[in-house]
Amino acid sequence: MNKFPLWLNVLVLAVLLAGCLFALPNIYGSVDAVQVADNDGLAYDELRLEEFVRTVENAGVTPEAAYLQDGRAVLRFHSTQEQEAAGERLRTAYDREANIAATLAPKLPKWARDLGLKPMSLGLDLRGGVYVLLEVDMETAIDSRMVGYQQGFDERLRDAKIRHRVDLDGQTINIRLTGAEDVESARVVIRRMDQDVLISDGADGKSLIVRMSEAQIQARQDFAIEQNITTLRNRVNELGVAEPLVQRQGADRIVIQLPGVQDPNKIKGILSATATVEFRLVDQSGGEPGSRRFQGRGTEGAQILKRSVIASGDQIIDASAGYAEGQPQVNITLDSAGGENMLRTTMENVGKPMSTVFIETRREAIPGRPGEFRKVVRQEIISTATIQGVFKDRFRITGLSPGEAADLALLLRAGALAAPVYIVDERTVGPTLGQDNIDRGFNAIKIGFLAVIIFMAIYYRAFGLIANVALLSNVVFIVAMLSILGASLTLPGIAGIVLTVGMAVDANVLIFERIREELAADSAPQSAINSGYEKALSSIVDANVTTLIAAVVLFSIGTGPIKGFAITLLLGIITSMFTAIIGTRTIVNLAFGGRKLQSLPV
């Protein structure tokens, strides 16, 4: 009785060894390093890595290790002074073609890197990173909605065969009609499109003035904030930043915390970038109402494009960078509405040229006026191609450099910002505070862990020691899972581990108490062990499942610190159930199973 088959014992041992292997990288710590990344997103090879090493060696600095990681060159150093000297030398030599960033790199041996092992990442409160406060341009959010109204009113009135002219003046739309007899018909058309807008009669008796209501303006501003938060989260996820914090602050600001970023300048650019695209037909007649001239980029000359937008960035549901015939391109997939419009346009305009317009909004300081800025919108044609055939929702954009193609694909894939955002505050959290927090957090884990071990060893004797082995294995598994999943460990996460350490022995306490009760009822030792595990199982599962549900809810709807706590609690519950039920049963079976016993040390 109480013997597992050989395969199950081997499986438990294999899981334990795998946990130790994946947790092992965390004991090596991190060292100062310099990371070199190509500005165009190209991957470096070993020859380029050797070139970088020679460059820093010529400055009298020898890297402790140098290797390639995700196409980037990483050079590790023994001290911060060597890191700074190497970084300065590399910036002098390669600043125009590469991004050189000081960072912390895991001090892993080569065999661990070759196996793809990585330590768990640390949150902003432990590792340090970048804090960015963004301000949303609410005025532009309203302006963009008014442009949408202008186009919509124009199309609806034209479909209703009402002669008109629609002019946009700030946040007011003036609809001029040819006669007073069309005023009521135009009012009905506008109401059908949006019944909440404010409509008033013009002074001349044959025009209408349309404005957004206060409720609409507030709703639009809230939408801009929420849409921007979603988009920024998507962008951060695309960049691979572990456990970022993106949340609203006040009426028009968004806080972003990026723990352990390795390329802060690049990330800040991606966060605030508002690049998008529009697809328009070329006005070959040169005189269509509403057409305007756009400047071209590179070999593309200036052209007059039609006012109507065939499809825009907010209708793109997927975008990926690639190459065709050696040239960078962005492969585009449109949503159903954009695809239908593109299909209709291409069916009616085969053989005619269509241009891709690149639009970027940024804020520039006004020279001689400190603290004041102006908004600059850059619109330029990046490619013009003749429509060779009918297509719908899949096509490609060319005319970009490799770096621009990669960035544009990321921005379009993550979604367009509903309104431009500007960096109003930026702070870098240094690792010193993080190390102090790490030391305190791990001291808390050690104290709690030691207290539980002493209690279990004294109260449950040999069975308590077995529970302690399971408890240690549980912590190893949590660290291993954090490393495998790439989840960040934060201060609340450390609190979750401390809580898990205390909770992890609950299952064994239930089991051991049940064994004691069976022994007190004169059950045989082997029967008491079997009954103890079987009868306590339902209580253990019920208790852990309820806590697991709470952890899942916290992880699903929580952000930042709450999610950091939830993920370690979630992993801790899963691993503790394995170690407490399967792990301790395996050890108990190996130690006491299949033997004739008179008593149990429990």
Using DSSP, state whether 517 is helix, strand or coil. helix
Query: What does the pLDDT look like over 21-80, one tens digit per residue?
Result: 999 998 888 888 888 877 666 788 899 999 999 999 988 899 999 999 878 889 999 888
- pLDDT(530) > 60: yes
Return d(Cα 359, Cα 27) in angstroms, integer.
48
Comparing 312-326, 504-518, 562-576, which segment has the lowest mean pLDDT? 312-326
The rounded percent of the chain whose pLDDT value lies above 70 is 88
φ, ψ of residue 98 in degrees (nearest 5):
-145, 160
Confidence of residue 92 (pLDDT cuts 50, 70, 90): confident
- pLDDT(275) > 70: no
Beta bridge partners of 198: 211
Return residue ranges of the chain for CATH 3.30.70.260: 29-107
Return d(Cα 176, Cα 84) in angstroms, integer.
65
The rounded percent of the chain whose pLDDT value lies above 90 is 9
Indicate the CATH number for domain 139-217.
3.30.1240
Confidence of residue 263 (pLDDT cuts 50, 70, 90): low
Query: What does the pLDDT look like over 453-475, one tens digit per residue?
Result: 898 889 888 898 998 898 889 88
Comparing 62-71, 287-296, 394-403, 524-533, which segment has the lowest mean pLDDT? 394-403
Which residue, 426, 410, 311, 421, is CA-closest to 361? Answer: 421
Global confidence as pTM: 0.58
Q: Return the CATH class of domain 6-24+432-592.
A: mainly alpha
Query: What does the pLDDT look like over 189-224, one tens digit per residue?
Result: 899 888 888 999 888 888 899 999 898 888 888 888
Per-residue b or e along 90-129, where b marks 16 or more CB atoms closer than 10 Å to that residue's CB: bbebbeeebbbbbbbbbbbeeebbeeebbbbbbbbbbbbb
Using DSSP, state whether 494 is helix, strand or coil. helix
Strands 316-324 and 65-69: unpaired
- pLDDT(242) > 60: no
135 Cα distance to chain centroid? 19
CA angle 64, 68, 70 (to 5 degrees): 140
Side chain identity, residue 151 = Q
pLDDT at 363: 64
Query: What does the pLDDT look like over 246-257, one tens digit per residue?
Result: 888 888 888 887
CB atoms within 10 A of CB 139: 14
- pLDDT(234) > 60: yes
pLDDT at 59: 85
CB atoms within 10 A of CB 20: 14
Per-residue b or e along 201-216, where b marks 16 or more CB atoms closer than 10 Å to that residue's CB: eeeeebbbebbbeeeb
Q: Which residue has the higher pLDDT, 239 or 522?
A: 522
Comparing 214-228, 263-277, 513-527, 541-555, which segment has the lowest mean pLDDT? 263-277
Return residue ranges of the chain for CATH 3.30.1360.200: 273-428
Those residues whose C-beta lies under 8 Å from the C-beta of residue 4, and which sit 6 or more positions away, are 12, 585, 586, 589, 593
CB atoms within 10 A of CB 448: 16
The third-level CATH classification (topology) of the domain covering 29-107 is: Alpha-Beta Plaits (3.30.70)
Q: How far is CA 393 from each of CA 314, 337, 338, 356, rounded to the nearest angstrom?
A: 14, 9, 7, 15
Query: What does the pLDDT look like over 132-160, one tens digit per residue?
Result: 888 888 888 888 788 878 888 888 888 88
**Helix/strand/coil (H/E/C) assignment for every residue in 92-150:** HHHCCCEEEEEEEEECCCHHHHHCCCCCCEECHHHHCEEEEEEEECHHHHHHHHHHHHH
pLDDT at 261: 63
pLDDT at 21: 93
Residue carrying the six token digits 């030391």: 439
- pLDDT(300) > 70: no
pLDDT at 301: 76
The third-level CATH classification (topology) of the domain covering 273-428 is: Gyrase A; domain 2 (3.30.1360)
Using DSSP, state whether 285 is helix, strand or coil. coil
Which residue, 76, 95, 92, is CA-closest to 38? Answer: 95
Comparing 303-312, 421-430, 506-515, 545-554, which segment has the lowest mean pLDDT? 421-430
Structural element, H or E, at residue 519: helix 506-520
pLDDT at 536: 85
Side chain identity, residue 177 = L
Return residue ranges of the chain for CATH 1.20.1640.10: 6-24+432-592
Radius of gyration of the chain measured on its C-alpha atoms: 32
pLDDT at 486: 74
- pLDDT(375) > 90: no
Confidence of residue 237 (pLDDT cuts 50, 70, 90): low
Mean pLDDT of 489-498: 80
> Are the C-beta atoms of residues 452 and 502 closer than 8 Å to each other?
yes
- pLDDT(330) > 60: yes
Q: Which residue has the higher pLDDT, 318 or 553?
A: 553
Which residue, 458, 92, 429, 411, is CA-closest to 245? Answer: 429
Structural element, H or E, at residue 470: helix 431-485
